[in-house]
A and B are shown apart, each in its own frame.
Chain A
Amino acid sequence: MSNKRMVSFKLNGQDTDVVVEPRELLIHTLRERCAHTGPHIGCETSHCGACTVDMNGTSVKSCTILTVQAEGAELLTIEGLARGGTLHALQEGFMQEHGLQCGFCTPGMITRAYRLLQENPNPTDDEVRYWIAGNLCRCTGYQNIVKAVQYAARKLRGATP
């Protein structure tokens, strides 16, 4: 037990310190130490994307990142997307376009789509599909997720969603 390390990062803008074993996975730290249960665990092998969070401006699957790798990082999770009580355009889009059913993939999916729209504010449908190919959904068949992302893209560009 003596091999624990202190790790400091910014979680949704908040300075956060945790003390963890070096083997602890970031998803467990977020969910069990930081009470951020939005990101989920679907496979623990980087396939499903339910655990996707944004780390230093890149999407990562937090089930295969060690918490100690997050030292000094800026982390953004689904919990950090709404600002001042207002939903992010993506959150609104997922609701308006019925882009979710059971909701288990949704936090990872929205966080991944957030990264897409940061880098490509005007994607084609095929680009959306390519960008979310690391995030599995068993319920929706993706069609309405694509619509939801495009809704948000339009809104963020200032067009009618």
Chain B
Amino acid sequence: MSAQPEHIEGNPEKRDGRDAGQTDESRLNRLEGIGCARKRREDPRFIQGKGNYVDDVKMPGMTFGVMVRSPYAHARIKRIDTSRALALRGVIAVITAEELKPFKLHWMPTLAGDVQAVLADGKVSFQNQEVAFVIAEDRYIAADGAELVEVEYEELPAVVDPFKALEPDAPVVREDLAGKTVGAHGARRHPNHIFTWEIGDKDKTARAFDNADVTVKQDMLYPRVHPCPLETCGCVASFDKVKGDLTVYITSQAPHVVRTVVGLLSSIPESKIRIISPDIGGGFGNKVGVYPGYVCAIASSIVLGRPVKWIESRAENLTTTAFARDYWMSGEVAATRDGVIKALRVHVTADHGAFDACADPTKWPAGMFHVCTGSYAIPNAFVCVDGVYTNKFPGGVAYRCSFRVTEAVYLIERMIDVLAQKLGLDKAEIRLRNFIRKEQFPYQTPLGLEYDSGDYEPALRKALAATGYQELRAEQAARRKDLQAEWLLGIGVVTFTEIVGAGPSKMCDILGIGMFDSCEIRVHPDGSAIARMGSMSQGQGHQTTYAQIIASEAGIPSSVIQVEEGDTATAPYGLGTYGSRSTPVAGAAVARAARKIREKARRIAAHLLEVSPDDLEFDLDRFVVKGSPQQAKSVKEIAWAAYNNVPPGMEMGLEAVDYYDPPNFTFPFGAYICVLEINRFTGESKVRRFYALDDCGTRINPMIIEGQIHGGLTEGLAVAMGQELPYDAQGNVLGGTLMDYFVPTAVETPVWETDFTVTPSPHHPIGAKGVAESPHVGSIPCFTAAVVDAFAHLGVTHMTMPHTAYRLWQQCQELGLSKRP
């Protein structure tokens, strides 16, 4: 005992769980386990300016790369002259597709089964497409060099509208696919057609529509937006020509996937590739893919044998690396006169831009759009999605959501409101009439998903009570009657169900790799521990929350647990962090690895106490002999013994690794209410109140959950009220700076109210479901619902996002509301 070192971090109190005078409560508090709002372990470095983001990485001999980009959306490249750039002092090299061809790196595979030009191969297909890459001694010279690269273009007609793209004489976006009538997801019926994806029973759904009392139809656009994390994308690639090792610091939400892709592209074995995601300044889906800038930096470093840094500018970020949405949806609902929904039918025209680079599980080209039956017991449904090429930049990432879930939730939440308005039903009441009931879980949807758990009605009733919904409706009725009222009042109600935690490997893979995730835990002799993860935080606080899971499961205080992510040289293979998969998948791996530690610790404790393992029970941070509480061994004591006194036949050490392949997705849900006012003379809008009730199952750290919800709601506000990347007819992107692209400031952002219920996931080891994307997914339709509701009494059923002051004013104009008396 005396040889046992004390923990050096945290409270210096004696840490033996058996000490007299230590209450169970103080031991519990010291663990800082699941449910504790512990402060974040990440914060000390960030608040002192000591974060280590990719642009902070500096290496000896490092060079800097800048991309030369196309000013045209669609053009043939007649000639590229790099001689003036190469003549500039400090420019080291300029690469074009010609230089990459010998290495077969001028094209790369996308996650969606398509290929994408790394540097334009004879033709550009979107504005700002990558044409050449200039490498120089510093970033100023590289920028000068990029200016000196002369490119001669022959402009071609561009197509930016996905419907026009499918017309017979439309310009062909992808000549490289000429004659290919079958793509990665089946038949292509037009040179600009990528795939048709159908799910559900078409005939049965059609019959339900034929026999319905009431049907409604609504077309809606989910505009093209961008996740716009505050840190843009970038990397530092460093190839050691002597050792043949490649190290890449990169802004990646999925470093292991990047390693596999780089291995495929470069033919360097994965064992000689080290991908390091350092601190990441926000991702929101933007940092999942592999982009031409990364490939150019890596290729240049392999050729030059010097480190190459590439950091994109904000304009490059907003116009080239991964848009989201751009879904043209058409929904139809069949229902009874009482508002009970009998069928849902959806068609989507999905604008994927010039290359199909959507980040979706391989088998699902529209992601998990088939969660579009929402929280409602809809017996029949059919969905058809057509993917289309246009002269716009590639992407189709999940902006703070699981793959295409924001689109799906928007569709169903809008449709149920449209139905309510048609039937003259209250928007809360129609939801209560259609909810999947608690006893129906696990619930099989008509589109093939199995919802794990849910309890929707109490959540909505709690939300209605908390916001005084009936009073709000009464206030609205009075306001509508008051012809002098300057402000219109709209109330949005949304009861969404998300699908997160991709996912079961039988359904979900990326490049053939199942979407499991992983955790490795090593407990050191002093009882402290390190956990290494396949996931990658971009601000979610994994270093804090994973430690809490281990604390509760293995009895090791959070304060002495290190959590490491993002370095493929040390972490077990994982699929990364996006689609709210960290808690549902990696978090489950953490819990299971910690349980393996606990079970080995139990056997060591039994050996030390000379009892059978079955005679022991786990008590917070120790094992106690049943019926004999004075006989106990703390986990800390057991950790020491693991390195000197284990039972005969047992391996030394206290380590565990777990690769978790989830049996199902998780299905968080929520009930949101937005109260919003619109000035009918100016179109100005004000969020008076936003109440968000989230149910993410077991809550690991309430402080972090609340922070994630605030952030998600704010991003939802951004999308609904202002974000859009519009294009003109020539294919010029019009939203490429923060002057044009809306990011809310503290002034536009309202104060959020959060609340919760707890319905654990039955299949997750600790019952947790994931939370960070729910507020984005749920709030966007809620803002639209509130905006439309302000005009609903005048017959308006839908309005297209973003709901800017100008557009709201236009709506007021159209309805004759903006004329001053």
B47 adjacent to chain A (CB < 8 Å): yes
Cβ A48 vs Cβ B738 within 8 A: yes
Cβ B230 vs Cβ A48 within 8 A: yes
Interface string of B514-533 (1 = CB under 8 A from A): 00000000000000000000
B619 adjacent to chain A (CB < 8 Å): no
- From B46, B228, B229, B704, contact of A106 by CB (8 A): B46
Cβ A104 vs Cβ B282 within 8 A: yes
Complex CA–CA separation, A141 to B772 (angstroms) = 13
Interface string of A118-160 (1 = CB under 8 A from B): 0000000000111011111111111111100000000000000
In the complex formed, the residue of B with least CB distance to A96 is: B39
Complex CA–CA separation, A47 to B228 (angstroms) = 13
In the complex formed, the residue of A with least CB distance to B712 is: A141
The secondary-structure label for the interface of chain A is: loop
A43 adjacent to chain B (CB < 8 Å): yes
Cβ B707 vs Cβ A140 within 8 A: yes
Residues of A within 8 A of B89 (CB): 1
A82 adjacent to chain B (CB < 8 Å): yes
Q: What is the CB-to-nearest-CB distance from A19 to chain B, in angstroms, rounded to a whole number?
A: 14
Given the known inter-chain contacts A45-B314, A141-B713, please indicate yes or no for A39 contacting B230, CB distance below 8 A: no
B2 adjacent to chain A (CB < 8 Å): no
In the complex formed, the residue of A with least CB distance to B709 is: A141
Cβ B313 vs Cβ A91 within 8 A: no
Complex CA–CA separation, A94 to B745 (angstroms) = 18
B567 adjacent to chain A (CB < 8 Å): no
Given the known inter-chain contacts A78-B49, A106-B47, please indicate yes or no for A133 contacting B747, CB distance below 8 A: yes
Interface string of B699-717 (1 = CB under 8 A from A): 0000110111011111100
A6 adjacent to chain B (CB < 8 Å): no
Cβ A36 vs Cβ B49 within 8 A: yes
B541 adjacent to chain A (CB < 8 Å): yes
Cβ A38 vs Cβ B49 within 8 A: yes
In the complex formed, the residue of A with least CB distance to B58 is: A32
Complex CA–CA separation, A101 to B229 (angstroms) = 12
B540 adjacent to chain A (CB < 8 Å): yes
Given the known inter-chain contacts A94-B43, A102-B281, please indicate yes or no for A45 contacting B51, CB distance below 8 A: no
B50 adjacent to chain A (CB < 8 Å): yes
Complex CA–CA separation, A2 to B575 (angstroms) = 50
B15 adjacent to chain A (CB < 8 Å): no
Q: What is the CB-to-nearest-CB distance from A3 to chain B, in angstroms, rounded to a whole number?
A: 12
B242 adjacent to chain A (CB < 8 Å): no
Residues of A within 8 A of B279 (CB): 102-103
Given the known inter-chain contacts A142-B746, A142-B749, please indicate yes or no for A42 contacting B43, CB distance below 8 A: no
B53 adjacent to chain A (CB < 8 Å): yes
Residues of B within 8 A of A143 (CB): 710, 749, 751-752
Complex CA–CA separation, A31 to B53 (angstroms) = 12
Cβ B711 vs Cβ A98 within 8 A: no
Residues of B within 8 A of A105 (CB): 230
Q: What is the CB-to-nearest-CB distance from B154 to chain A, in angstroms, rounded to a whole number?
A: 32
Residues of B within 8 A of A142 (CB): 710, 714, 745-746, 749
Residues of B within 8 A of A24 (CB): 140
Complex CA–CA separation, A43 to B318 (angstroms) = 10
- From A107, A138, A140, contact of B49 by CB (8 A): A107
Residues of A within 8 A of B40 (CB): 95, 98
Complex CA–CA separation, A142 to B469 (angstroms) = 27
Which A87-102 residues have a C-beta within 8 angstroms of B?
Answer: 87, 91, 94-96, 98, 100-102
- From A40, A77, A98, A110, contact of B281 by CB (8 A): A40
Residues of B within 8 A of A37 (CB): 49, 53, 55-56
The secondary-structure label for the interface of chain B is: loop
In the complex formed, the residue of A with least CB distance to B282 is: A102
B136 adjacent to chain A (CB < 8 Å): no
Cβ A95 vs Cβ B43 within 8 A: yes
Complex CA–CA separation, A98 to B37 (angstroms) = 10
Given the known inter-chain contacts A42-B314, A94-B47, please indicate yes or no for A101 contacting B746, CB distance below 8 A: no
Residues of B within 8 A of A91 (CB): 47-48
Q: How many residue-residue contacts, CB under 8 A, span A and B?
A: 175
In the complex formed, the residue of A with least CB distance to B89 is: A1
In the complex formed, the residue of B with least CB distance to A35 is: B58
B22 adjacent to chain A (CB < 8 Å): no
Cβ A77 vs Cβ B49 within 8 A: yes
Residues of A within 8 A of B231 (CB): 40, 42, 102, 104
The range of chain B's interface size is 35 or more
Q: What is the CB-to-nearest-CB distance from A97 to chain B, in angstroms, rounded to a whole number?
A: 9
Cβ B540 vs Cβ A101 within 8 A: yes
In the complex formed, the residue of B with least CB distance to A126 is: B747
A74 adjacent to chain B (CB < 8 Å): no
- From A23, A94, A104, A133, contact of B51 by CB (8 A): A104
Residues of A within 8 A of B45 (CB): 103
In the complex formed, the residue of B with least CB distance to A81 is: B48
Residues of B within 8 A of A17 (CB): none
From B311, B704, B707, name the one whose CB has the most chain A CB atoms within 10 angstroms: B707
Complex CA–CA separation, A42 to B234 (angstroms) = 12
Cβ A102 vs Cβ B747 within 8 A: no
A75 adjacent to chain B (CB < 8 Å): no
Cβ A98 vs Cβ B140 within 8 A: no
From B40, B712, B737, B738, name the one whose CB has the most chain A CB atoms within 10 angstroms: B738
Cβ A95 vs Cβ B739 within 8 A: no
B280 adjacent to chain A (CB < 8 Å): yes
Cβ B53 vs Cβ A40 within 8 A: yes
Residues of B within 8 A of A77 (CB): 49
In the complex formed, the residue of A with least CB distance to B710 is: A141
B139 adjacent to chain A (CB < 8 Å): yes
Residues of B within 8 A of A47 (CB): 737-739, 743
Which B274-300 residues have a C-beta within 8 angstroms of A?
Answer: 279-282, 284
Q: What is the CB-to-nearest-CB distance from A18 to chain B, in angstroms, rounded to a whole number?
A: 14
Residues of B within 8 A of A44 (CB): 313-314
Complex CA–CA separation, A21 to B53 (angstroms) = 26
B44 adjacent to chain A (CB < 8 Å): yes
Q: What is the CB-to-nearest-CB distance from B87 to chain A, in angstroms, rounded to a whole number?
A: 15
A41 adjacent to chain B (CB < 8 Å): yes
Complex CA–CA separation, A5 to B361 (angstroms) = 54
A60 adjacent to chain B (CB < 8 Å): no
Q: What is the CB-to-nearest-CB distance from B172 to chain A, in angstroms, rounded to a whole number?
A: 36
B762 adjacent to chain A (CB < 8 Å): no
Interface string of A28-66 (1 = CB under 8 A from B): 100110001111111111011010000000000000000
- From B44, B281, B284, contact of A104 by CB (8 A): B281
In the complex formed, the residue of B with least CB distance to A36 is: B49
Residues of B within 8 A of A42 (CB): 230-232, 281, 314
Q: What is the CB-to-nearest-CB distance from B563 to chain A, in angstroms, rounded to a whole number?
A: 16
Cβ A136 vs Cβ B49 within 8 A: no
B539 adjacent to chain A (CB < 8 Å): yes
In the complex formed, the residue of B with least CB distance to A1 is: B89
B538 adjacent to chain A (CB < 8 Å): yes
Q: What is the CB-to-nearest-CB distance from A86 to chain B, in angstroms, rounded to a whole number?
A: 11
In the complex formed, the residue of B with least CB distance to A93 is: B47
Residues of A within 8 A of B746 (CB): 128-130, 132-133, 135, 137, 142, 145-146
A71 adjacent to chain B (CB < 8 Å): no
Complex CA–CA separation, A3 to B752 (angstroms) = 53
Residues of B within 8 A of A128 (CB): 746
In the complex formed, the residue of B with least CB distance to A79 is: B49
A-B contact pairs, 18 of them (CB 8 A): A32-B58, A40-B55, A40-B231, A41-B311, A48-B314, A87-B48, A94-B43, A95-B43, A98-B703, A101-B707, A102-B230, A104-B230, A104-B231, A132-B745, A135-B746, A138-B282, A141-B752, A144-B707
User: 4 shortest A-B CB distances, which residue pairs?
Assistant: A38-B49, A103-B46, A104-B281, A102-B539
Query: Given A24-B140, A32-B58, A141-B713, 6 more contacts at CB 8 Å?
Result: A38-B51, A40-B55, A98-B39, A107-B49, A140-B707, A141-B714
